[in-house]
Structure 1
Amino acid sequence: MSVYSKYADHILLNLLKQDDQLAYTEIFERYSRILVNHAYKILGNPDEANDVVQEVFLYIWNKRQELTVTGSLSAYLYKAVKNRILNHIAHEKVVSRYADSISNFIENDYVVADSNLREKELEAIIEKEVALLPAKMREVFLLRKVEELSYDEIALQLNITDKTAKQQVYNSLKILREKLKSLMNVFIW
């Protein structure tokens, strides 16, 4: 048991602002499981619940110096998770509307002559971008998204923690989204 487990939340926050990784780890260990359970109750999907909580903790680490928590840390974390869930749900609705519009387009017998070509081009671009990921990140990403292994299976196979596997997948998706965002506009239109 680490000495950090005895620290109050406000002390951990102060240490976190000073780039103390052990303080961050303690905050994560203290709150991640309960936050994932909370997110799961709303989303009904364990992977999505884990992803939402991972995003919150990644944000906290990235913004640790300018992080302002008024009130309790637990209230801040619950609100951050709730906001991420709302963003996730809103994004899902947009994706669903987009899928519905594509489905409607196809159902009305519109033929896109070059859709196969565009699909192949997009696949080639995605493969190229995946190949440019750092080696370990790429390996974890491919095991999760291509081999469809669970985070636990990846952790066991690569001798890493499941949290590391989740973080690697999250980081790779973030990188790929950013690189592909501008390209998607070209392929959609």
Structure 2
Amino acid sequence: MSAENNTDSNLIDLIREDHIEAFHALYNRYKAALLVFAAQRVDKLIAEDLVHDVFMGMWRNRNQLVIADEISGYLFKAMRNRIIDHMARDTHAKKYLDSLEEYSYSFSLTDAKIREDNFMERLEDLLKRYGPQYQKIVHMRMQGYSNKEIAEALGLSEKTIRNQTWMLMKYLRSKICQALLFLFF
């Protein structure tokens, strides 16, 4: 009698005795039904992997295999458990990846903040060579004030502000390129 013509119960007994043909017969008998069951709950490729996992687990534990009821009930319960385990791992993996993304984002924000602070310190050091009026002009320009608004606030002509800004920018450009290379590379 071939393994395919055996009852489920006989196949299980043969599997316990290491008969690979009996295992293949049982696999072929239930593979499609388990795949349909799993594919309704997870992606088809994952479903195929889970079906193989169920049967591989059964083969690995064949000598201790205890099936109280029907093999179909055993297999579908094992499949359900594999699906639940997969979903739990998948959820944990997604949470972990999300937390890594969050950490990476916060780290890059922190890194950018540190670089910005270092850049501003370097800028302040460079501005110390000039008087407080020049420093005030740069700070107001960085806050978005126009030459006209700065001139009115400091009681200077717009042309003076333009000239001092041009002079400062020329100096800072020559020095900031070096600072940027130092800070960002």
TM-score by length of 1: 0.56
2:93: which partner in 1? 95
1:76: which partner in 2? 74
2:56: which partner in 1? 58
Is 1:32 aligned to residue 21 of structure 2?
no
1:22: which partner in 2? 21
Alignment of 1:1-189 (within 5 A): 3-43=2-42, 45-110=43-108
- Unaligned segments of structure 2, at least 5 residues: 112-185
Task: Give identity over the alignment, percent.
Answer: 27
- Structure-2 separation of matches of 1:112 and 1:12: 63
Structure with greater Cα Rg: 2
- Structure-2 separation of matches of 1:102 and 1:112: 15
TM-score by length of 2: 0.57
- Residue identity in the other structure for 1:35: L
- Structure-1 separation of matches of 2:66 and 2:110: 50
1:157: which partner in 2? none
- Structure-2 separation of matches of 1:4 and 1:109: 61
- Unaligned segments of structure 1, at least 5 residues: 114-189
Change (3 A) 1:22 1:111: farther
Superposition misfits of 4+ residues, deviation over 2 angstroms: 109-113
- Structure-2 separation of matches of 1:67 and 1:111: 55
Q: Deviations over 1:30-85 (max 9, x none)?
A: 00111011100011x11100000110110011000001011000000000000000
User: By how many angstroms is 1:111 displaced?
Assistant: 7.7
RMSD: 1.8
